[in-house]
Amino acid sequence: MKDNTRLRNLGIVAASVLVYLGLSQIYLPFLELDGTFFISWFVTFLHEFGHIAVAYATGGGATQLVMFPDIPGVAGYACTYGGWRPAVIMGGYIGSALFGAFFLYSAFRANLVSRYVFRSLAVIMVLSQVLWFPIGHCADYAASGDDAFVSVLFCVIGAIALWNLSRIPYSVRNVLLIFVGTASLVDVLIDVFRLRRASHSDLHAFTDHMAGGLVPMIVWQVLWVAIILAIMAAVLKLATTTTPAPQDQEPPAPPSGPRSE
């Protein structure tokens, strides 16, 4: 039974990769959006939140988190200060990869933690727009009123969607959590491969910060890819070695109505 569960999890991971790659080939002309728009939006949120989390963890802070459409995709910006700068810069891509791995691990444990993962994400999304309001003091980026409105709207809608996902049947919710975790990791990996072609990115900022750009950018890119692949390998190993928790279904509802003794 345990082996069947592990094989099932790996099968869902493989199917999730294929679904993500299929969606990436779709363009919705009536919306002018990529097929992976909503996945990219979610991963971009994790990316920006990763910058902020690392900033606070290393003694810094943040003043702003904004998400906005960058047709046909999505973009975001986290305004941080202080902290250990190399870690804060890496916190975007490496942090979102770790979030994806955590989602997969939570699903692989085959218990009811997926409910609380979705609910925690919903709370974080709402709090992000309260604690780090999109229109804030930031020397690097000044969000417009439209960007701020879209950022708050998307985060509220995302939070409502995640909270409702936490209420669907466990078996479906667990499959969704595996898909979200897999799609997050694949999206991050593809993004890192594309970074050198961008005019400005975290990889550019990291290269400039480390030894004044003396080390070629491709060296840091290879390092980031290696870290993300190591994270993916570790969580997939857990899928085949972790013993699922015994609770693999929702607890039965309590009996209703009067009871006769």
Structure confidence by residue, pLDDT tens digits, 11-65: 999 999 999 999 988 887 776 677 888 888 999 999 999 999 999 999 999 999 9
If one counts every other C-beta atom within 10 angstroms of the C-beta of residue 121, the result is 23
Residue 141: pLDDT above 70?
A: no
- Report the number of distinct structural domains present in the chain: 1
Residues 6+ apart with CB under 8 A from 59: 82, 83, 84
Residues 6+ apart with CB under 8 A from 80: 51, 52, 55, 60, 61, 62, 63, 88
Kindly state whether residue 204 falls inside one of the protein's structural domains: yes
d(CA 226, CA 192): 11
Average the pLDDT over 97-113 and give the result. 84
Kindly state whether residue 253 falls inside one of the protein's structural domains: no
Residue with tokens 């309260």: 130
Residue 71: pLDDT above 70?
A: no
Among 24, 35, 2, 3, CA closest to 189: 24
Kindly state whether residue 258 falls inside one of the protein's structural domains: no
Helices (H), 109-201: 113-131, 145-165, 170-194
Which amino acid is residue 233, in one-letter code? A
Indicate the pLDDT class of residue 194, thresholds 50, 70 and 90. Answer: confident
- Which of 12-26, 107-121, 123-137 shows the lowest mean pLDDT across its residues? 107-121
Domain with 47 in it: 2-241
* Cβ-count burial 21-37 (b if 16+ within 10 Å, e if not): eebbeeeeeeeebbbbb
- Provide the token pair at 189: 């990996």
Contact indicator for 66, 17 with CB cutoff of 8 Å: no
C-alpha distances in angstroms, 130 versus 49, 59, 64?
Answer: 13, 21, 9
Kindly state whether residue 60 falls inside one of the protein's structural domains: yes
Beta strands in 59-138 (DSSP E): 61-70, 73-81
* Cβ-count burial 155-175 (b if 16+ within 10 Å, e if not): beebbeebbebbeeebeebbb
- Which of 197-201, 207-211, 216-220 shows the lowest mean pLDDT across its residues? 197-201
Helix (H, G, I), strand (E, B) or coil at 140: coil
Q: Which residue has the higher pLDDT, 169 or 143?
A: 169
Kindly state whether residue 257 falls inside one of the protein's structural domains: no
- Highest average pLDDT, of 127-131, 167-171, 201-205, comes from 127-131
Helix (H, G, I), strand (E, B) or coil at 165: helix
If one counts every other C-beta atom within 10 angstroms of the C-beta of residue 182, the result is 25
Indicate the pLDDT class of residue 261, thresholds 50, 70 and 90. Answer: very low
At residue 200, the pLDDT reads: 79
Average the pLDDT over 204-222 and give the result. 88
Average the pLDDT over 105-130 and give the result. 87
Mean pLDDT of the chain: 84
At residue 87, the pLDDT reads: 96
Residue with tokens 């409105």: 149
Q: Which residue has the higher pLDDT, 101 or 143?
A: 101
Average the pLDDT over 70-79 and give the result. 79
Kindly state whether residue 221 falls inside one of the protein's structural domains: yes
Residue 259: pLDDT above 50?
A: no
Residue with tokens 């993300």: 228
Angle, helices 93-108 vs 170-194, to 10°: value is: 160
Kindly state whether residue 186 falls inside one of the protein's structural domains: yes
Residue 6: pLDDT above 80?
A: no
Residue 248: pLDDT above 50?
A: no
Kindly state whether residue 171 falls inside one of the protein's structural domains: yes
